[in-house]
Structure 1
Amino acid sequence: MKAELEDMKQEMYQKLSANSALTQAHESRLKEAEELIDEAETVNMAMSDALIKSMKEQRAMQGKLVDLEGRSMRNNMRIYGVPKEKEGNSMSDFVDQLLKTELALLDTNLQIQRAHRALARKPEKNAPPRSIAVNFLEFTTKEMVLRKAWEKKILMEGRRLSFDHDYATEVVLKRKAYVGIKRVLKEKDIRFQTPLDRMRIHWDSGTRTYDSAQDAAQELRRRGFSVEIPDRNASELYPEMERLHQTKTWQRVGERSAGGTETASRVSKKLQEYERIPPETN
């Protein structure tokens, strides 16, 4: 009996020893996995911060480029609705004669430097004609011509011509989003203006300015108008940056392990190598 108990004791001891060794192995592997996860989280957070910073800088730079493009086009004007091939052999002469005749500017030197059709693919037979870009030497001359053109209804082959400023490509895309809203406001005889890429609506309760077509459309819906809310322009919203911000809603808690701290320092130094170094000043 004593021998049997001793055998059972030895067997249980061996099993406990095996379980203890297995538990230690699992603990070692869990610790290793935690360190790897901690390092991966550290690298991911550092790279996300660097990417968000880079996208913000790109967004700011894009804004400056759009502003620069717009300023370079301050002396330009667009004419819409001129039938195809109506200009003949010289677009500049055609535009000069058109403006002087229709706007009673026969004695005015318009100083048109360049005039040409929009640089786009030639439209199909029944498609609307391309617009005409006109460049004036003087900004004041362009403004004077535009004011007079807006005050008069100019027809060509039974269709009205439209005159407007020449805008940067990104601004044009944003202005196109207001088309449906403009249609509704015109039907309701509500006065509005579209300075650059914004909209100013003169309500009975007062004038309000909206920074985007989405804001204006939502306001019209709140007031009971049936209008479709346009999609946001990709360059305006930066959906990738929004998603990155949303994925960073959690924060690390507790103390970072020594390995994680070293990794964070190493990643930070590595990312700093890609930052632009400002020029030295004397």
Structure 2
Amino acid sequence: MSVINFVESLLRNGLGIPPTTAFNIERAHRALGVKPPVGAPPRSFVVKFAGYRLKEDILRRAWQARGFDFQGKKVFLDNDYAPEIQKRRKEYTAAKAALREKNIRFQTPFPARLRVHYSEGIVTYNSAQEATEDMVKRGLSVNLVKGHTTLLEQIKQRMWQSYGKKVNKGGMAQMPSFREKLQAFRRQSDDTA
């Protein structure tokens, strides 16, 4: 049995999808990584559907069912996000646990935000630090999350610093103008004469 056939069978049986629905799976393979030891959960599968709507329908069914069982193990489905997005989404773990404890509804919209449905209204947070700080102010017991640097801050940290060059307001080194180069050349030639 090919991986594509296995995935189709797994989804049909687990989610109750009728046999008349065509999956149109372009690719399916195991996620990269070493083979897990005996007794550990198996590696994930990565599946590429030809149609976006079918993928969204399958994910919606799986999320509503909160996963399904296969050979005594729980199977969950989710989008395959880039590593940086996964890292940022994982930062909300403490906040989501505190919200679950208080039975407060929340969502995690793409790319890495947290939308919380408080009784006063809906609040959307753009970072885990912002979310945990506000949740503490609201009286929820959650550990504060230290903020991560933005992409611009990371670029500035890794940027080469040039000595003797001007730096503009954005922290980027400015190249000297033609006139400044000419004046520096004239100064050097005057000093050597």
Once residues 113 and 198 of structure 1 are traced to their aligned partners in structure 2, the CA distance between those partners, rounded to angstroms, is: 30
Shift of 1:210: 0.5
Q: Which of the pair is proportionally richer in strand?
A: 2
Corresponding residue for 1:167?
Answer: 81
| Paired AA for residue 179 in structure 1 | T
Structure label with greater radius of gyration: 1
* Structure 1 counterpart SS, 2:61: helix
1:100 aligns with 2:12: yes
Corresponding residue for 1:228?
Answer: 143
Structure 1 residue corresponding to 2:23, chosen from 87, 97, 110:
110
Structure 2 residue corresponding to 1:150, chosen from 54, 63, 70:
63
Identity in percent: 39
TM-score calculated relative to the size of structure 2? 0.72
Query: In the alignment, is the contact (CA less than 8 A) between 2:107 and 2:114 conserved in 1?
Result: yes
1:184 aligns with 2:94: no
Query: In the alignment, is the contact (CA less than 8 A) between 2:14 and 2:69 conserved in 1?
Result: no
Structure 1's unaligned 5+ residue stretches are 1-88, 245-260, 270-282
Shift of 1:174: 0.7
| Paired AA for residue 97 in structure 1 | S
Query: CA RMSD, aligned part only?
Result: 3.0
Structure 2's unaligned 5+ residue stretches are 160-175, 185-193
Which sits farther off after the overlay, 224-233 or 159-168?
A: 224-233
Shift of 1:234: 4.8
Q: Which of the pair is proportionally richer in helix?
A: 1
Corresponding residue for 1:215?
Answer: 130
Shift of 1:214: 1.1
Shift of 1:225: 1.9
For CA contacts below 8 A with separation 6 or more, give which structure has more relative contact order.
1
Shift of 1:228: 2.1
**In 2 relative to 1, CA 236–145 (structure 1 residues): closer, same or farther, beyond 3 Å?**
same
Matched residues, number: 164
Shift of 1:128: 3.9
- For 1:134-166, what per-residue CA distance to the aligned partner results, in whole angstroms no more than 9, with x for missing partners? 110111110111112222241224443211122
